[in-house]
């Protein structure tokens, strides 16, 4: 496995782990599941605060909604596969951002 492929795999894992931790933390504090409905409150400070949260929590939310939809609505396999690719790419981007931030802060070499 090349170093670039290993770095990409690590970024995907970090992105999904961060997304899961954020959503689980939100659910523990707010006592309700997180979702994209956080953006439907109109122009309010908590709506603007939800944007950065949703940027990093989106891979988990996409996969949760997709798997739930597959069970309840019996969605087609092609839709589930497309949503998985989108969530994986989004996770890779957010994981890359976290890794770059940790490297810039001197935590990682």
- Return the pLDDT at 5: 93
* 16 domain residue, yes or no: yes
- Return the pLDDT at 1: 85
* 109 domain residue, yes or no: no
- Return the pLDDT at 74: 79
* 80: its two tokens: 């589930």
- Return the pLDDT at 60: 94
User: How far is CA 21 from each of CA 35, 36, 57, rounded to the nearest angstrom?
Assistant: 14, 16, 8
* 40 domain residue, yes or no: yes
Domain that holds residue 96: 3-104
* Total structural domains within the chain: 1
Q: What is the pTM of this model?
A: 0.84
CA distance 60 to 16: 7
- Return the pLDDT at 98: 94
- Return the pLDDT at 95: 95
- Return the pLDDT at 104: 95
* 93 domain residue, yes or no: yes
Give the pLDDT of the chain (109 residues) as one tens digit per residue: 899 999 999 999 999 999 999 999 999 998 988 888 777 877 878 788 888 899 999 999 999 989 888 878 878 888 889 999 999 999 999 999 999 999 999 998 7
* 94 domain residue, yes or no: yes
CA distance 105 to 9: 22
């Amino acid at each position: 496995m090349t170093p670039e492929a290993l770095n990409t795999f690590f970024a995907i894992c970090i992105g999904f782990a961060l997304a899961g931790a954020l959503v689980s933390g939100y659910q523990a504090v707010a006592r309700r599941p997180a979702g994209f409905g956080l953006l439907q409150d109109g122009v309010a400070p908590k709506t603007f605060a939800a944007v950065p949260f949703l940027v990093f929590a989106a891979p988990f939310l996409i996969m949760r909604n997709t798997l739930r939809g597959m069970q309840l609505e019996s969605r087609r396999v092609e839709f589930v596969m497309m949503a998985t690719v989108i969530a994986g790419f989004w996770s890779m981007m957010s994981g890359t951002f976290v890794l770059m931030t940790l490297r810039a802060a001197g935590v990682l070499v």
